[in-house]
Amino acid sequence: MRRRLRIAFAMINCNRLDGSARAVNEVAERLAEHHEVHLFARKAEDIDLTRIRWRKMPGLPWPAVADFVTYYSLAEFRIRGGSFDIVHAVGANASAANVITIQNIQPAKRVFLDAQNVSAKVSPARKLTRRLYLDITTRAEATVYNTRPGRKPPLFLPVSRGVERELRQYYDIGNAPVKIIPNAADTDVFKPLTPSERSAWRKTNGLGEQDLLLIFVGGEWDRKGLDLAIRALQQIRDERVKLLVMGRDAEQAKFQSLAAECGVNRRVFFLGFRRDVPVALGSSDIFVFPSWYEAFSLATIEAAACGLPIVATEINGTEDFIVPGETGFFIRHDAEHIASTLAKLIEHEGERRRISLNARRVVEQSYTWDRVAQQTEEAYLEYLEGEQKW
């Protein structure tokens, strides 16, 4: 008989908009079918609470540093490890956690952000709040992740090989067990579309059936390399090739100006935050993602689930998923190289189709939320039984 566990999930805001939050929603809902699940969160949105007990965590939701500090401080009093078999935190937001999903490592992310502060026009206020947030969250990570005498080490669940490397590089985790459990996609929502469905979405959004659509999804556009995607489009002379940008960024005007400077403003569509991302992905042809730093981009897996070849930089997550020539291609942080890589797919429809089928197949085999929930449950039980198989 399956052992029934008492599980507490600790995260600041639970929703399906943020990548790490969405992962918890998906896993918590599935585990709640067989276990007693509690959710310690400030918000609980887009999650089925019929089987989950929501323990609302008050606090200051803004700015981000206050959001983290008030949650972390309250968690010290409200989340007691002895009350649960598993306290599963997303990152270092609960010191009582004995299982920790790691979506990113703050000092590793900081390397890029510090460089961006130097090279980009970032306001002094934004620099200050970034630095303060990174300082505080890095200290929290050190407290929660580093080995401590007399304490059983937690089970770490990094989402990619790269995040595991960063965890070991920046923190002393001793002999703590580590198991990589990736992000995933809902393959019933993110899926290839029929020709008529693709045509309908394109027509509604002012796009032609013969257009070849590159798509970019996400926020933090400097970090995710949207400027490189726009500059690459400038080098692709085929007017049918267009770039869809889905998501928001406070500096959108800067990227719109760049598109105009590059002479491609009529081929770049800033669609904003949309609820129809699955249909937009399914109606597109190639996912382009020249990001500088990720843990394991959910958008990448969701695009692959929709049958899109993945053209991305070789960073955390993509290095685990992309097999060059099979599920996509790696690109450098160089617009010319991105354009030449895209050309291989733009000019050869058969190649796009073959890679499209491969990408979907790999997601179905290894990157579904059902599989992730099963892997998580198995990791819990092995950890509790002391079976260190890693």
**Which domain CATH number covers 58?**
3.40.50.2000
Same domain, yes or no, for 130 and 255?
no
What are the helix (H) ranges across the chain?
Answer: 19-31, 64-78, 106-119, 124-145, 161-170, 195-204, 221-224, 226-234, 252-261, 277-282, 298-305, 318-321, 335-346, 349-366, 369-384
- What DSSP assignment string belongs to 317-374? THHHH--BTTTEEEE-S-HHHHHHHHHHHHS-HHHHHHHHHHHHHHHHHH-BHHHHHH
Same domain, yes or no, for 171 and 201?
no
Same domain, yes or no, for 376 and 361?
no
Find, among 144, 154, 143, 159, the residue nearest to 102 by Cα: 159
The whole-number pLDDT of residue 81 equals 85
The residue whose two tokens read 């965590």 is 57
Same domain, yes or no, for 114 and 164?
yes
The whole-number pLDDT of residue 191 equals 98
> Is 161 part of any domain?
yes
Same domain, yes or no, for 70 and 207?
no
Same domain, yes or no, for 266 and 241?
yes
Same domain, yes or no, for 104 and 151?
yes
> Is 189 part of any domain?
no
The residue whose two tokens read 């569509």 is 269
H or E element in which residue 270 lies: strand 268-272
The whole-number pLDDT of residue 116 equals 67
**Can you give the residue range of the structural domain that contains 287?**
195-366
pTM: 0.93
Digit-coded pLDDT (tens) for 35-66: 999 999 999 998 999 999 999 999 998 888 99
Same domain, yes or no, for 203 and 344?
yes
Digit-coded pLDDT (tens) for 313-350: 999 999 999 999 999 999 999 999 999 999 999 999 99
> Is 85 part of any domain?
yes
> Is 176 part of any domain?
yes
Same domain, yes or no, for 23 and 37?
yes
Task: Give 202's DSSP letter.
Answer: H
Same domain, yes or no, for 75 and 145?
yes
Amino acid identity of 261? Answer: E
Q: What is the mean pLDDT of residues 134-150?
A: 95
Same domain, yes or no, for 223 and 134?
no
Digit-coded pLDDT (tens) for 73-86: 999 999 988 899 99
Find, among 222, 231, 213, 219, the residue nearest to 306 by Cα: 213
Residue 38, beta-bridge partner list: 8, 53
> Is 48 part of any domain?
yes
Rounded CA separation 243/137 (Å): 35
Same domain, yes or no, for 353 and 378?
no
Give the chain's domain count: 2
Using alpha carbons, list the distances in angstroms from residue 10 to 14, 44, 226, 236, 317: 9, 12, 32, 46, 24
The whole-number pLDDT of residue 121 equals 60
The whole-number pLDDT of residue 1 equals 64
